[in-house]
Amino acid sequence: MVVIKIPASLRKFVGGNERVDVDAANVREAIDALEGAHPGVKAKLCDDAGNVRRFINIYAGDEDIRFLENMDTALDAGSELQIIPAIAGG
């Protein structure tokens, strides 16, 4: 089980949940499983080609996945994904 921690601004796309648990062996599978459970949320995270949008970051544990294997970054049971969007307001 992989834990995806959802920032407050995206919770309305995942039924208000603070975290969503999915079965996944890598980041791509985790996001697809999230989309399967909550259709529409993937478009908020990824562009049409399926890559993470450039103003959003996904961390596996304490590591930015861009500097790991990106969407192919392997996840173990108990891994935690954190989504960090660029927050525009001030």
Partner 1 sequence: MTRAVVIGLGGLGCPAALGLAESGIGELLLVDPDTVELSNLQRQVLYRTADVGRAKVEVATQRLSESFSGLRVEGRRVHLGAANARELLRGADVVVDCTDDPGSRFIVNDVGLELGIPTVLGGVLQFDGLVLAVSGHSGPCFRCLFEVPPPTEEARRCGEAGVLGPLCGVVGHLQAQRAWGLVSGHAAAQTGFVTTVDGLRGRIRDVPLPEATDCPACGGLAARLDITPYSCPMTYVRTRLALETLNPGQTLDIVMRRGEPSRNVPRNLLDEGHDVLINGAVDDGRHRVVVRRVC
Interface contacts to partner 1, rule CB under 8 A: 7-9, 11, 18, 53-55, 57, 59, 62-64, 66-67, 82, 84-90
Asked if 14 and 90 count as a contact pair (C-beta separation under 8 A), the reply is: no
Give the DSSP letter of residue 36: H
Q: How far is the CB of 62 from partner 1 (least distance, A)?
A: 5
User: Which is nearer to partner 1, 12 or 36 (by Cβ)?
Assistant: 12
Q: How far is the CB of 29 from partner 1 (least distance, A)?
A: 22
Asked if 35 and 6 count as a contact pair (C-beta separation under 8 A), the reply is: no
User: Which is nearer to partner 1, 8 or 77 (by Cβ)?
Assistant: 8
Q: How far is the CB of 52 from partner 1 (least distance, A)?
A: 10
Give the DSSP letter of residue 53: P
DSSP β-bridge partners for residue 65: none
Do strands 63-64 and 80-85 pair parallel, antiparallel, or not at all (unpaired)? unpaired
